[in-house]
């Protein structure tokens, strides 16, 4: 199909109108989940989409966003025009569709949405989900902008996720833990099989989980994928302020630690670097570009310190594996005063398992209800928190809970806001409104 074009004043819907339309296509709106590739594949065929550049697909329970951001930063440093599709967004939908690290314009998105809508109607009015529609539109934008590499983050699972309609030249599974069990299964083995669905025969299939499920390895073997495991085929070894990466014939010593905070980021970086080495013949990257990318990588909401005196930390951790990392990071960054937690979660998460990792680390719990589809009411979270120690207060919203935290905190205290993208987004807006920290939407 011809490239996208935009004529000022043309009769196109505004972006917010389009997002409302996308939500109307599924009875559960933006939160609607309906796994399967048939619908999106039919509209993709109607759009005549073709893969015009190397594609890296990133799946996993946690660490997907960090891995994608690291890949973006390294390839940009190498002079490659990057495209990245990720989800969910924090402050603006445009964050989901980035070119050269910058969220694309409303104009680019609405034109892509119009193309997808026309193809959807031509295919019989297929009722795409919000995520499926957005995935197809992102590819339309990337194709029009002539990018050199497309980095696609899986939304949920892998095997039946809309992103999997594209064939990965290299696929990365960051790790496998229990989450989204209503859709993916209740064991790591069941979930591992779903994650492994992004692997392709004869192509690099990476896993940065130090204990990968047997189901993942078995599926990779059954399709003839080139499986590469952390600890076996590639390694990341920290040495004070530097680290060593080894993969096959590649050995890079004394690399700078990733700018993203947390011990888990070394595994994420190792997965990203292994993908880079696998695609070297098509996308050459120097060590200098790797170092620049590792130093430059940024991603809002991953143990992100956005204010001082008191220190304000936001983290989208929302399942037990992620909050274990949050607890580890809090321990590694001690506080002279109290720790106040602003928490809001979705009802379908393992709330008890996630919050148990913060036992003994929080002095004041400020629990917020989330007024969104699947949001947990404050009293449901409060019942879990009550047994973890510390004082507890409940609020109707994360905004109100954060305002209370600011009122209670002294300059030597810290506020940790976590539990959901919705919670972090509310705190980011509140901080921006206070003028304490200029946070550009979609910072990456």
Domain boundary among 264, 296, 328: 296
Q: What is the pLDDT of residue 316?
A: 94
Structure tokens at 357: 């990792």
Convert the pLDDT of each residue in 37-66 to its tens digit: 899 999 999 999 999 999 999 999 889 999
Report the percentage of the chain scoring pLDDT > 90.
75
* Same-domain pairing of 244 and 188: yes
Q: Are residues 246 and 287 in the same domain?
A: yes
10 is a domain residue:
no
Q: Which of 5-9, 167-171, 374-378 has the lowest mean pLDDT?
A: 5-9
**Of 28-32, 150-154, 155-159, 344-348, minimum mean pLDDT range:** 28-32
pLDDT band at 23 (very low <50, low <70, confident <90, very high): confident
Give the integer Cα–Cα distance in Å for 279 and 267. 19
pLDDT at position 33 is 65
pLDDT at residue 183 tops 70: no
Which whole number is the average pLDDT over 245-263?
91
Domain hosting 145: range is 15-296
Do 250 and 310 lie in one domain? The reply is: no
Domain co-membership, 222 together with 253: yes
pLDDT tops 80 at residue 184: no
For residue 414, the number of C-alpha atoms closer than 13 Å in the C-beta half-sphere is 20
In a domain, 443, yes or no: no
Q: Is residue 75 assigned to a domain?
A: yes
Q: What is the pLDDT of residues 324-358, one digit of tens each?
A: 999 999 999 889 999 999 999 999 889 999 999 99
- Give Cα separations from 405 to 300, 345, 415 (angstroms): 21, 17, 7
Domain membership flag for residue 54: yes
Query: Same domain, yes or no, for 87 and 188?
Result: yes
Whether residue 314 sits in one domain with residue 261: no
Looking at residue 444, what is its pLDDT? 33
Q: Is the peptide bond before 359 cis (omega within 30 degrees of 0)?
A: no
Mean residue pLDDT of the chain comes to: 90
| 8 located within any domain | no
Q: Are residues 138 and 34 in the same domain?
A: yes
CATH number, residue 380: 3.90.190.20
Q: Examine the domain organization and report whether 212 and 254 are in the same domain.
A: yes
The total number of structural domains that make up the chain = 2
- Report d(CA 76, CA 233) in Å as an integer: 26
Q: For residue 436, what pLDDT is reported? A: 57
Calculate mean pLDDT across residues 10-19: 74
Structure tokens at 304: 């992100």
Q: What mean pLDDT do residues 397-418 have?
A: 96
Kindly state whether residues 346 and 237 are assigned to the same domain. Answer: no
Query: Does 231 map to a domain?
Result: yes
Q: Which of 1-15, 67-81, 108-122, 330-344 has the lowest mean pLDDT?
A: 1-15
Question: pLDDT tens-digit profile of 256-301?
Answer: 999 987 778 899 999 999 999 999 999 999 999 999 999 999 989 9
In sign, the C-alpha dihedral spanning 182, 186, 188, 193 is: negative
Looking at 246, 264, 296, the residue that finishes a domain is 296
Task: For 421-440, write each residue's pLDDT tens digit.
Answer: 999 999 999 998 877 544 43
Judgement on whether residues 286 and 318 belong to the same structural domain of the protein: no
Q: 189 and 226 in one domain? A: yes
pLDDT band at 28 (very low <50, low <70, confident <90, very high): low
442 occurs within a structural domain = no
Torsion angles phi and psi, residue 221, rounded to 5: -65, -40
Of 441 and 276, the structure prediction assigns the larger pLDDT to 276
Residues 6+ apart with CB under 8 A from 338: 363, 364, 409, 410, 413, 414
- Asked if residue 374 lies in contact with residue 31, where contact means CB atoms within 8 angstroms, the answer is yes
Give per-residue burial for 259-271: e unless 16+ CB within 10 Å, then b. bbbbebbbbbbbb
> Do 335 and 385 belong to one domain?
yes
Q: Which residues of 287-304 are buried (b: 16+ CB within 10 A; e: fewer)?
A: eebbbbbbebbebbbbbb
Mean pLDDT in residue range 19-25:
87
Q: What is the pLDDT of residue 389?
A: 75
- pLDDT value at position 441? 38
Residue 209 lies in a domain: yes
Residue, of 321 and 223, whose pLDDT is higher:
223
pTM: 0.88
Which residue, 248, 278, 296, sits at the end of a domain? 296
DSSP 416: E
**How far is the CA of 145 from the CAs of 3, 36, 54, 57, in angstroms?**
8, 28, 15, 19
Taking residues 246-263, report their average pLDDT.
91
- The per-residue pLDDT for 288 is 97
Q: What is the CATH number of the domain that holds 281?
A: 3.40.1190.10
Tally of CB atoms within 10 A around 253: 12
Q: What's the pLDDT score for residue 442? A: 37
């Amino acid at each position: 199909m011809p490239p996208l074009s935009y004529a000022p004043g043309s009769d196109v819907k505004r972006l917010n109108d389009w997002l409302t339309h996308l939500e109307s296509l599924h009875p559960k709106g933006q939160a609607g989940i309906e796994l399967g590739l048939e619908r999106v594949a039919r509209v993709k065929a109607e759009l005549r989409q073709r893969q015009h550049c190397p594609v890296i697909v990133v799946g996993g329970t946690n660490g997907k966003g960090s891995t994608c951001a690291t890949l973006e930063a390294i390839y940009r440093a190498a002079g490659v025009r990057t495209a990245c599709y990720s989800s969910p967004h924090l402050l603006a939908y445009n964050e989901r569709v980035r070119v050269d690290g910058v969220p694309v314009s409303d104009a680019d998105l609405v034109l892509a949405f119009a193309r997808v809508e026309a193809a959807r109607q031509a295919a019989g009015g297929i009722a795409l989900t919000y995520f499926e529609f957005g995935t197809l539109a992102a590819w339309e934008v990337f194709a029009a902008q002539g990018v050199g590499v497309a980095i696609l983050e899986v939304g949920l699972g892998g095997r039946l996720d809309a992103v999997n309609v594209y064939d990965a030249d290299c696929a990365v599974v960051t790790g496998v833990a229990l989450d989204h069990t209503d859709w993916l299964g209740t064991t790591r083995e069941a979930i591992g099989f779903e994650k492994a669905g992004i692997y392709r025969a004869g192509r690099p299939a990476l896993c940065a989980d130090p204990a990968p499920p047997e189901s993942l390895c078995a599926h990779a073997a059954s399709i003839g994928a080139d499986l590469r495991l952390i600890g076996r085929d590639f390694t990341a070894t920290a040495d004070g302020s530097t680290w060593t990466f080894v993969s096959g014939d590649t050995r890079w010593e004394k690399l700078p630690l990733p700018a993203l905070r947390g011990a888990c980021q070394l595994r994420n970086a190792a997965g990203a670097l292994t993908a880079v080495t696998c695609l070297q013949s098509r996308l050459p990257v120097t060590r200098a570009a790797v170092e620049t990318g590792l130093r430059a990588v940024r991603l809002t909401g991953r143990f992100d310190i956005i204010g001082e005196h008191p220190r304000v930390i936001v983290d989208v951790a929302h399942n037990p594996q992620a909050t274990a990392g949050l607890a580890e990071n809090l321990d590694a960054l001690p506080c002279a005063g109290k720790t106040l937690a602003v928490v809001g979660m979705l009802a379908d998460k393992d709330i008890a398992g996630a919050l148990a990792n913060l036992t003994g680390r929080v002095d004041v719990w400020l629990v917020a209800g989330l007024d969104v589809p699947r949001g947990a009411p404050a009293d449901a979270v409060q019942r879990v928190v009550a047994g973890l120690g510390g004082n507890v207060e409940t609020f109707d919203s994360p905004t109100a809970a954060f305002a209370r935290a600011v009122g209670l905190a002294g300059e030597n205290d810290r506020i940790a806001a976590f539990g959901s993208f919705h919670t972090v987004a509310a705190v980011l807006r509140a901080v921006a409104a206070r003028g304490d920290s200029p946070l550009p939407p979609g910072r990456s």
